[in-house]
Copies of this chain bind each other. A is one copy, B any other.
């Protein structure tokens, strides 16, 4: 469904969000530890998230990554997925035709469209605040 990079990105964002709510910046090392991911690869992904304006970074001592508190509830999963995996998942053809279209549909178009829309709705309506809260209250987990 999502690329490994995207899975890491989502989990990383949740952890950063959770920390940011507590006014704490975090380093790639801390993130990797918390979400059980390779450090350097995670750092690369964080750079992409910064470029896409989903996460803020601060260099030097006492630096690290954070998400502005006010924005935590505004950042949806779909934004993160788009930033890392692009939007093929939201508008691409399920069978890999060059484009998904009503006028030249693939055999599974009608079925697939529904799933795709449901997925988008879901990712649109799920934000980092909700997810961070789930972790905070011990209802869900970022690693095994």
Which residues of A pack against B, CB within 8 Å?
Answer: 1-2, 4, 7, 10-11, 14, 77, 89, 94-99, 104-109, 111, 114-115, 118-119, 122, 126, 131, 134-135, 139-144
Contacts and interface: CB of A to CB of B under 8 A. Distances in A.
A107 B14 contact: yes
Contact of A142 (B107, B135, B139, B143): B107
Contact of A107 (B89, B95, B140): B140
Nearest to A96: B7
A141 B94 contact: no
A95 B81 CA distance: 12
Nearest to A111: B122
A141 to B, nearest CB: 6
Contact of A140 (B98, B109, B126, B142): B109
